[in-house]
Amino acid sequence: MTNPAPSSIAPSLALIEQLAHEAVSTLPEPFREPATHVRLRIEEFPDDEMVEELGLNDPFELTGLYEGIPLTEKSVSDQPTRPDVIWLFRRPILDEWADRGNVSIGDLVTHVVIHELAHHFGWSDEDIARIDPWWE
């Protein structure tokens, strides 16, 4: 048996993480630096508790999730109990990528990261459209 060609190997967790960090690094100011304070976690799938809490029937329905308190709801008197986190789920992202067939994995990961950052920053659809060309 021969080894599969690199173009036929599914992107790894490490590649998804690299693409997510690249997405953050290309954000316009004034969002780039604050976005670096949101932790990125890349997993194969959401855990059962996440799926249940969101009322989903299938873990493939969730490509990303923001966990934290949006900046629009935070107070200077709040004591942080844990960092804000953006979860990216590799297998659901890969499924969407394969189903679409017309976007790069980098563009899809960027789109998911920006969508989750929209929850953190409290962006409107118009704000997202100015940052994410996916919406054009």
pTM (predicted TM-score): 0.87
pLDDT at 8: 58
pLDDT at 115: 94
pLDDT per residue, tens digit, the chain (136 aa), is: 445 445 557 899 999 999 999 999 999 989 999 999 999 999 999 999 999 999 999 999 999 999 998 888 876 666 667 789 999 999 999 999 999 989 999 999 999 999 999 999 999 888 888 888 775 5
Q: Which domains are present in the chain?
A: 12-71+82-135 (3.30.2010.20)
Q: 60's torsion region: left (phi>0), alpha (psi -120 to 50) or beta?
A: alpha
Q: Between 90-100 and 13-25, two packed helices, what is the crossing angle to 10 degrees?
A: 80
pLDDT at 7: 56
User: Residue 70: which residues within 8 A CB-CB, separation 6 or more?
Assistant: 119, 120, 121, 122
